[in-house]
Amino acid sequence: MQQQIIKGIQNGDRRMAARAISLIENEDVTRYSILSELFPLAGKAYVIGITGAPGAGKSSLVDRLLVTLRKRGLTVGVIAVDPTSPFTGGAILGDRIRMQEHALDKDIFIRSMGTRGSLGGLSRATKDAIQVLDAFGKDIVIVETVGVGQSEVDIIKYADTTLVVLTPAGGDSVQTIKAGIMEIADVFVVNKADLAGADRTVSEVSMMLDLGGTNRRWRPPIVRTITMDGTGTDEMYASIQQHREYLQESGQITKLREERARRDVIDLVEYRIKSSVWGQVSGSAEFEGLISRIMARELDPYTAAVQILGSINLDNCSV
C-alpha cells in the first residue's frame, strides 16, 4: 500500500495524494515512512500562507488567486485549515461554489483540514500535507488558516510568503490585531475595499509599519482588494512575486529554509515524545493515583513529574 501511494503521487494520481493526507490526518503509523520517502521529491513548491479573521474573505481571495495562477500555467495545491471545525474527513470547502469548480481542474488540488487532537497536531499535519502536495508536483501550495491562536501562527511559519487579510469593518481594527499576526505579514491585504473605512485601515497599517522602525528590510506592501469584481487581484499577485524575488535576491529564502529544517526536526522529536508520553500516561491508574495524591496535598507535582519520567518508556517514539 505504501509503495502504491508513493508511486501514485509520483505519477500524478490525485487519489493517492488524498490518501496520503488522510493517513497524516488519522495519525496513521505509516505516515512517517511515507513522508520520508516523499521528501526527496519535494522542495520545489512555493508556499503562500493566507490568514485573517473568520469572514475576512480569505477563501474568496484564494478563489481569485487560483484563477490568476492557473492563467500563468501554474499548478496549485490548497490546504484550508479550519481549527474551529471538527475533523472534516477531507471534505472540499463546501462553502465556496467556485472553489468546487476549481476542484474539477486537475491541476488544482483542494483539501480542508480540521482539528485533530491536541499537542499541536494540526500544525504538524498541515506541514506534512504541504510536503505531500509539494512532492505531488504542485508549483504553488496555498495554506488558508483562520488567524486566531498560536497554532495558526505556527502553521503560517511554513509559508514562504504570508498574506494577512484585514477588512475595513470596525471589528478587526488594527489595534485589536494580535502582534504575532502583524509580525508574520509579508503582504497586507485590505479586503472588502468596497466598504467604508478601507482608507482608514490602510493608513492604520501603514502607521504601524512606520512605528515598527526600519530594521525590516522588507516593508510589507498594503493591497486593497474587492473579491466580487477582482479589484486588486493583480496587485496582490504582484506583491507576492515581489516578496518572492526579495527572498531569493537577499538570500533570505535559504535562511528561512534552514530555520524551518531546524524547527521541523525539533518539532518532530517533541511531537513524538509528547504523543508517546501522553499515550502511556493519560488515564493510567498510576497517573490518576498521583493526581489524587496531589489533590490531597500528599504529593507535589514536581515530584510526581519525576516519578512519571522514571516509569515511562520512550522506545516506541521512534516507531
> Which of Mg ion, ligand GDP, none does residue 194 bind to, with CB < 5 to 8 Å depending on kind?
ligand GDP
Which x/- pattern, by CB under 6 A, does the window 71-110 give for ligand GDP? ------------------------x---------------
What whole-number distance in Å separates Cα of residue 222 and Cα of residue 201? 10
Residue 194 as a binder of ligand GDP (CB under 6 A): the answer is yes
Q: Which three cell numbers stand for residue 302?
A: 514536581
Q: Which is nearer to Mg ion, 58 or 124 (CB)?
A: 58
Among 192, 233, 240, 247, binds ligand GDP (CB under 6 A): 192
How does DSSP classify residue 296?
T
Would you count residue 55 as binding ligand GDP (CB under 6 A)? yes
Residue 243 sits in the site that holds ligand GDP (CB under 6 A): no
C-alpha cell at 132: 505531500
Q: Cell numbers of 231, please?
A: 479589484
Q: Does 145 bind ligand GDP (CB under 6 A)?
A: no
User: Which CB atom, from 20 or from 184, has the smaller least distance to ligand GDP?
Assistant: 184
The string of DSSP letters for 159-207 reads -SEEEEEE-SSGGG-GGGS-HHHHHH-SEEEE--TTSTTHHHHHHHHHH
Measured from the CB of residue 277, what is the shortest distance to Mg ion in angstroms?
A: 34
Burial of 56: CB neighbours in 10 Å, binned 0-12, 13-18, 19+: buried
Q: How far is the CB of 99 from Mg ion (least distance, A)?
A: 9
Which of 60, 162, 201, 275 is the binder for ligand GDP (CB under 6 A)? 60
Total residues binding Mg ion (CB under 5 A):
2
- CA proximity to 110, closest of 151, 72, 149, 69: 69
Q: Which is nearer to ligand GDP, 8 or 168 (CB)?
A: 168
User: According to CB under 6 A, which residues from 249 to 278 bind ligand GDP?
Assistant: none
From 50-58, 108-116, 162-170, 276-284, give the range in contact with Mg ion by CB under 5 A.
Answer: 50-58
Binding residues for ligand GDP, total number by CB under 6 A: 16
By beta-carbon proximity to ligand GDP, the closer residue of 139 and 194 is 194
Q: What's the closest the beta carbon of residue 6 comes to ligand GDP, in angstroms?
A: 33
Q: Which is nearer to Mg ion, 10 or 85 (CB)?
A: 85
Maximum distance among all Cα pairs of the chain, rounded to whole angstroms: 68
Q: Is 131 exposed, middle or buried (0-12, 13-18, 19+ CB in 10 A)?
A: buried
59 binds Mg ion (CB under 5 A): yes
Q: Which one of ligand GDP, Mg ion, none is in contact with 261 (Cβ closer than 5 to 8 A by kind)?
A: none
223 close to 190: Cβ distance less than 8 angstroms: yes
Q: 131 contacts which partner out of Mg ion, ligand GDP, none, CB within 5 to 8 A by kind? A: none
Cα–Cα distance between 145 and 78 in angstroms, integer?
11
Beta-bridge partner residues of 224: 190
Q: Cell triple for residue 296? A: 490531597
Q: How far is the CB of 225 from Mg ion (least distance, A)?
A: 15
What would the grid cell of residue 206 be?
Answer: 501603514
Angle formed at CA 121 by CA 271 and CA 80, multiple of 5 degrees: 145
Percentages helix, strand, coil for the chain, rounded to the nearest 5? Answer: 55, 15, 30
Catalog residues that contact ligand GDP under the rule CB under 6 A. 52, 54-60, 95, 191-192, 194-195, 226-228
